Structure 1
């Protein structure tokens, strides 16, 4: 039996760019059309640094942590020294990204290519929490919170979903905020909140009882009345510490209310940006599973020859490579639209709905290549297969994102 760290890339995989493409551990075997060539030299260096960090510091930890259903806290220390946290937020006093959306997307892809749980932890901290403060906070708030989060001296979480409201949280949010002078009082419950059990700052969304608008608040982990209880017995993203959060008369000063968020429309702007990151995560899961299957097909022999020499196995691999290539092209163009500042909700929604649906198919084919070994954690692909289910659902289900795109292309809403 092999382990995750034994899965070196096969060396006989032809690539259209030949020697111009990196070799060995620096290669992405699924990049059949050389999409990474769109990066600048400096961006390429950051991506390779990300890849090496994940291979050396993250990959050896994930199977044990996944099996035990625990988040390896030593990862926080390792990320602190990686230089990868907070890259989009350099220059905290303005809103201009420090790196391109393409590089940010490829970094999210690299995370999931190794482990979707670690990508989710990083996405909650570096994406949802930090971006909510970056986009929703004023200059003073960005300068107060983002440096510590970027250094991972503090950890962030993002509390939107509720026990009774997932897809309809915009209209059905039950968590309330009541203002008393210069203080807000928060009451309610949140569910599926990643990182909340150990986060220092939790961005909580609540409905103002006075004007019925959703507002954002940064709540400290030691706030009186705040409690986070880990959700156990999960079969997907087992490394992520999702939590049920209870807010019982939590008092938050006005200075900790995100000053640039005054309605759910502002929250939707944040989600629009982070939803595309989840599509990149889905691409990473596809690629990770495909590469495992490709490697396994060259090593595993049946009937006296490697699986890679069987037509039906090649069919599974080629279908998966086609899906990966189509999704990668879509996301590459989406990143260009984001960098140009001309992308809309429906662009992110189409990517999230389409890529996660293809992800399900690719991980199923990869598991099929492994046969019975595909359900054993030691071969890694079982983890990708299980984790895909969570990514398929969070940050907007396929159905909800389909309705967003449907409204955009028809001009008619089909929401109930």
Structure 2
């Protein structure tokens, strides 16, 4: 018997491995027929205290319009894009057609929603997909709102209508490699020259930046040492935006590093209403209320998924919902969500009445996010092995919540903002040692 050569044997082995191991994955309905994946999104079952009654009829209508779009258009494709860490440009026209982009901004093609309705929009998006919610948060509640609050009349008329329809996309650049939560110490500089400004510096973690048409950028005026704001076009010479790779959360969001080397910005694109960090804080006050609703939406989606899964999935002839520990965890999740919604709703009402403070907004964001972390952790436990599959939402939501726990101020920094407000003592920076320790 002739023994095949080593090259022939290797070819035979490769062919055998290819035919046996390189088959495409089974369709989930075949691989695990017991439970429905999140591509067919579960009905909302998390409003146990009927908190919808707190909303006006207009706010309820906005909620259902966004919910229907997210469940129909985004849920079927979100896992595919999340896994590939690519942005779902195909859904952008569908989000633009909702007529909700621009939130509370009035005029210029913007919807002029109540702050509660604007928060509900982000919540309903996050319930299905946190990345889409963050895309709109950055575009509308940061970039568009900065132009609306701090821009000239000419800038508003020029930029806002297209942004409201999502025919153009904006990003918002504040944080830097050396300064995240302490963004007031930013190093990017703006130097006045004839007819405009020269920007030099770097920004990091800027969502939408790799494909944004407009970049709202903050820099330190070299003459006054104060923070100014600028609108930069994506094709400006000296501007570079590159994607941050290997994220484990909000994978569809295209966060980027921005480098500016001698970027010229004409005078007409300087935001006249940004002359200090306090002007930037006016935008952050609104966005911190908005971002508090993203964890609410994420938690609602996880609860809805777990509620359906536990009733569909059977073990020992009974649905998992019949087991005491599972019911206890599900109710604990539900209780958290009721409290989170009430705090979020109260934040909106305090903003509308002019009673919001930085400490109140910061406490809401940090507390709600911490409760959402608990909800998604319990959801992960309830789904067992399937809890690590993005197809069943919980693993994806588990990862997506982590960036939200950090951005718009980390949990700890937001707590210290509230601590400063209630005690009158700032504790952000360690005391300077009078002399170096000899130890």
Provide TM-score, normalisation by structure 1: 0.92
Distance in structure 2 (CA, Å) of the matches to 1:284 and 1:8: 14
Say if 2:39 is the partner of 1:5.
Answer: yes
Q: Contact conserved, 1:197 with 1:230, CA < 8 A, in 2? A: yes
User: Does residue 207 in structure 1 map to residue 220 in structure 2?
Assistant: yes
- The aligned residue for residue 51 of structure 2 is 35
Residue in structure 1 matched with residue 294 of structure 2 by the alignment: 281
* Match status 1:59 vs 2:75: yes
**CA offset at residue 97 of structure 1?**
8.1
Alpha-carbon RMSD across the aligned residues, in angstroms, is: 1.4
Which residue does 2:332 correspond to in 1? 319
Aligned to 2:278: 265
2:175 alignment counterpart: 161
Which residue number in structure 2 is paired with residue 410 of structure 1?
423
Alignment partner, residue 139 of structure 2: 125
- Aligned equivalents of 1:198, 1:103: Cα separation in 2: 28
Secondary structure, counterpart of 2:75 in structure 1: helix
Query: Whose radius of gyration is greater, 1 or 2?
Result: 2
Query: Which of 14, 37, 46 is residue 62 of structure 2 equivalent to?
Result: 46
Structure 1: 5+ residue stretches without partners: 10-27
Runs of 4+ in 1 over 4 A off after TM superposition: none
Which residue of structure 1 aligns with residue 24 of structure 2? none
Corresponding residue number in structure 1 for 2:375: 362
| Contact 1:92 1:134 (8 Å CA) reproduced | no
Q: Secondary structure at the match of 2:77?
A: helix
- Paired residues of 1:7 and 1:295 also in contact (CA < 8 A): no
In structure 2, what is the Cα distance between the partners aligned to 1:358 and 1:389?
12
Q: Secondary structure at the match of 2:157?
A: helix
Q: CA deviation at 1:87?
A: 4.1
2:353 is equivalent to residue 340 of structure 1: yes
Q: Does 2:98 correspond to 1:82? A: yes
Q: Number of residues paired by the alignment?
A: 395
User: What secondary structure, in the 3-state scheme, does the structure 2 residue paired with 1:79 have?
Assistant: helix
Q: Deviations over 1:13-57 (max 9, x none)?
A: xxxxxxxxxxxxxxx311111111222222222211111111111
- TM-score when normalising by structure 2: 0.88
Q: Which runs of 5+ in 2 are unaligned?
A: 1-31, 430-439
Mean Cα deviation higher: 206-215 or 336-345? 336-345
- Residues 286 and 363, structure 1, Cα contact 8 Å, conserved in 2: yes
For 2:165 and 2:339, how far apart are their aligned partners in 1? 36
Are the equivalent residues in 2 in contact too, given 1:282–1:355 (CA < 8 A)?
A: yes
Deviation at 1:232, TM superposition (A): 1.1
